[in-house]
Structure 1
Amino acid sequence: MKQRHSPLPLIRDMVRDMVRIRCVEEELATVYREEQEMRTPVHFSIGQEATAVGVCAALRRTDVIYSGHRCHAQFLAKGGDLLGMVAELHGRENGCSAGRGGSVHLADQAAGFGASSAILGEMISVATGAAWAFARRGESRVAVTFFGDGASEEGVFHESLNFAAVHRLPVVFVCENNQYSLSSPLTARQPSAGSISGRARGYGIPARRLDGNDVGAVFEAAREAVADCRDGKGPWFLEFDTYRWREHVGPDWDYDVSPRSKNEIDSWIARCPIRRAVDFLSTSDSDIEADVSDWERTFRAEVHEAVAEARASPFPAVEHLLAGTYES
């Protein structure tokens, strides 16, 4: 990890946040497999923590983010309630979406996590609409939308970038390019000429493509983008190269059922964003390794407490199952 301008205490805080997300998702993956009480599909972000943490570290609580189906990391990085998330995965009434949304439909308005959705690319337009509202009301707020490389192939991607550029909206488009859409590699879906961020530049939007496993670089890019948006110079586009370690959906590895080889996955594990940040800090912070171990114990205990509380919580009452739905 190269030297950067981010202060070391901030890097340390971001390491702590990445460790928490990693512990939460690893423990949930184990519980998901063993207890068979979470019946929602789950899309884990293990290996991609730096993009969520680095971007959210550049935001205010009043800023709002929107995500897609792989949303746990962004939810936690923005300050979303852990019990609310875990209870939602268990389908309980005290879940952040009242037990009705599952893993892919998280929300925590108080923390500035607007919504997530399993519909590919949907939240790109929603974040653009939120930014338009901020601009029209003259509010010093920024909207951020996280999405994968696959969503850049949807029509709503181009429509939203065009609209945001025309109206100079305070929205940051964050593409987590993890190289695959389901099991289809990027090279099989998009032409070799150009790039996703290059398409954003075609709309006159400032765009950068960076190493998404370098949390300091992610933060610095996000800080610049957010500051410009807040000053009325938006929108911005950030493309971060990263990689999910687990299967597309589910708690396991997918060496035998996808075109991804174990060697490919191992090569990305060697680029672990947490390990890289810890190695960077260790040259001047002799306590960081011990602190990471302490954090891991604390956070693994935290998620197990949340699981126990969620399992002891009631399911939505049958008579209220249609609450919040539209009626003709």
Structure 2
Amino acid sequence: MTPTADYEPDAALVRAMLRIRRVEEVLADYYRDEQQMRTPTHFSIGQEATAVGMCAATRPGDVVYTGHRSHAPYLAKGGDLQAMVDELHGRETGCAKGRGGSIHLIDTAVGFAGSAAILGEMIAVATGAAWAFALRGEPRVALTFFGDGATEEGVFAESLNFAAVHRLPVVFACENNQYSISSPLRQRQPVGTGITERAAAHGVHAVSVDGNDVFAVRDAGRAAVRRCRAGAGPVLLELHTYRWREHVGPGWDHDHGYRSAEEIDAWVDRCPIRRAADAVRAAQPRIDRWLREWDAEFTAEIHDAVRAAKAAPWPSIAELTRGAYEPTAAAAVGGERS
């Protein structure tokens, strides 16, 4: 294992992306081959630069929210890997006690405030968190990840408007991977319009960024959180990227009829990890050796985590409804409802 002190921050971003890539690729293999993770699972393979670059721009006290494609931001913010893998296996030791699965990750100790499956839901939640920070005068920022499909939900427009009116410290990170499930963006929106332009129309400072360039994402993220912390209001970053695998599940989907193998291959050629490694090689000539060492380290780490998850306890039947709705004492006092 390479000591952290041996490599510069730019190389550390490469390392963080490779860890996410290796974790997700191994999990995808287990998911397909063993069928023990009984949860819909959305992988971010190919999109690692958006999560790593944006989370690198945050402070420990800042909070991150995501939608259903949550593994990468969770790990990039420092979420506990074992707790995530346990959660995917439905175990009591999971980060949501085995009750939420892949789509409902949380690790408040590191500022990963939660993820959820409802399209666009966490855009509003992050806006609310930012409003609380502003009301309390706290120098904290809320960051929320979502895909291009979520920008077509009403909550997106409402949240941007509210954040702009109140000059809230929230960064809207749109991971524009060109598709909402299998519907391409070019068929969903009029020609000549864009997410950046729509955000700007709400009075939100909006910037378009190459989402496969981790350094460009980090720099744009730093500028965005700096602007929010200074009280200048919300920022939207449209991060242009691409998921390699299917929308949900471990497989490839070039034979599903909505995108071609050639299109996927063109984006694979723009791999964010390879691009970042190429960019740092001159300053960090040991990067290729490090990549091999890191790959072995992370491969062992994720296999160990899966083994531990399989040995972890299931939630108790006696506590099956823990966390579910229960009538409050006040409701009980009110008597029977008509």
TM-score scaled to structure 1, two decimals? Answer: 0.97
Partner of 1:112: 111
The equivalences for 1:57-76 within 5 A come to: 57-76=56-75
The answer to whether the aligner puts 1:82 opposite 2:81 as a matched pair is: yes
Structure-1 separation of matches of 2:35 and 2:175: 30
Structure-2 separation of matches of 1:24 and 1:130: 30
What letter matches 1:309 in structure 2? A
Q: What are the superposed Cα offsets for residues 268-325 of structure 1, whole Å, 9 maximum, x if unpaired? A: 0000000000011112221001101100100010011110010000110011011111
Would the aligned equivalents of 2:91 and 2:98 in 1 still touch at CA under 8 Å? yes
Structure-1 separation of matches of 2:282 and 2:226: 30
Partner of 1:122: 121
What letter matches 1:265 in structure 2? I
Q: Quote the offset at 1:258 in angstroms.
A: 3.6
Partner of 2:332: none
The equivalences for 1:18-57 within 5 A come to: 18-57=17-56
TM-score scaled to structure 2, two decimals? Answer: 0.94
Q: What are the superposed Cα offsets for residues 130-165 of structure 1, whole Å, 9 maximum, x if unpaired? A: 000001011111000000000000000000000000
Structure-2 separation of matches of 1:115 and 1:102: 12
Partner of 2:333: none
Q: What are the superposed Cα offsets for residues 217-246 of structure 1, whole Å, 9 maximum, x if unpaired? A: 000000000011111112101001000000
What letter matches 1:308 in structure 2? R
Partner of 1:157: 156
Structure-2 separation of matches of 1:96 and 1:327: 22
Partner of 2:266: 267
Q: What are the superposed Cα offsets for residues 38-76 of structure 1, whole Å, 9 maximum, x if unpaired? A: 010100000000000000001011100000000100000
Percent of counterpart pairs with the same letter?
A: 63
What letter matches 2:249 in structure 1? G
Structure-2 separation of matches of 1:34 and 1:234: 47
What letter matches 2:118 in structure 1? I
Partner of 1:251: 250
Paired residue secondary structure (2:208): strand
Structure with higher Rg: it is: 2
Q: Quote the offset at 1:204 in angstroms.
A: 1.3
What letter matches 1:51 in structure 2? T
Partner of 2:176: 177
Partner of 1:226: 225
The answer to whether the aligner puts 1:9 opposite 2:8 as a matched pair is: yes
Using the TM superposition, name which of 92-101 and 27-36 deviates more: 27-36
Q: How many residues align?
A: 321
The equivalences for 1:273-288 within 5 A come to: 273-288=272-287
Structure-2 separation of matches of 1:284 and 1:240: 26
What letter matches 1:163 in structure 2? F
Would the aligned equivalents of 2:11 and 2:284 in 1 still touch at CA under 8 Å? no
Partner of 1:200: 199
Partner of 1:308: 307
